Every structure is written in C-alpha cells, then in structure tokens.
C-alpha cells in the first residue's frame, strides 16, 4: 500500500504515545500507521520531533473522534 494517500490525525510526542493511540484506533477497527519511527536523527537534534499517526482518508472522521477521546483522557 502506498502511504501517500494517508492523512495525519495526530502528532504524538513519543513513540510510546503514538503506539498507544495506534492500538486504541485498532480496537475500533481503524488501521493506523506511524511515521518517523526510524528517523536517523532520533534524539540527535534539539528540534521537537513528533511522530505523525496517519489513517486512510475514509477513516479520518472516526479516527479524529477517537483521537479527541484519547487526548481528553490524557493520552
């Protein structure tokens, strides 16, 4: 599958947070994909690095509702 058609629904501050959200989305039968998990600069830059959580466009609305709940619960 090409990941060019995916949409970002959340920028996680850590791999753990991104994985927790991906698992939460999977519980609702939404496939989510994590980007930047293998960045060669991992931890070597002072710039804030986030991990985008991405879903298929047709699952975006449902995913965003789950993201809102995830954030409200403190991630």
Instruction: Determine contact, residues 31/59, Cβ cutoff 8 Å.
Output: yes
What pLDDT does residue 1 have?
46
Q: Domain of 54?
A: 3-37+49-72
Per the structure, how many domains does the chain have? 1
Asked whether residue 43 is domain-assigned, the answer is no
Q: CA 48, CA 12: separation in Å to the nearest integer?
A: 11
Asked whether residue 67 is domain-assigned, the answer is yes
CATH of the domain at 31: 3.30.70.1530
Asked whether residue 17 is domain-assigned, the answer is yes
Per-residue pLDDT of the chain in tens (75 residues, 90 and over written 9):
445 689 999 999 999 999 999 999 999 999 999 986 555 555 555 555 789 999 999 999 999 999 999 999 987
What pLDDT does residue 50 have?
87
Return the exposure string of 24-45: e unless at least 16 CB atoms fall within 10 Å of the residue's CB, then b: bbeeeebebbbbeeeeeeeeee
């Amino acid at each position: 599958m090409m990941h060019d058609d995916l949409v970002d629904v959340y920028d996680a501050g850590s791999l753990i947070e991104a994985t927790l959200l991906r698992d939460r989305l999977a519980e609702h039968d939404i496939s989510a994909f994590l980007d930047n998990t293998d960045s060669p600069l991992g931890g070597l830059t002072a710039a804030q690095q986030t991990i985008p959580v991405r879903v298929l466009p047709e699952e975006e609305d449902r995913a965003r509702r789950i993201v809102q709940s995830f954030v409200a619960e403190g991630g």
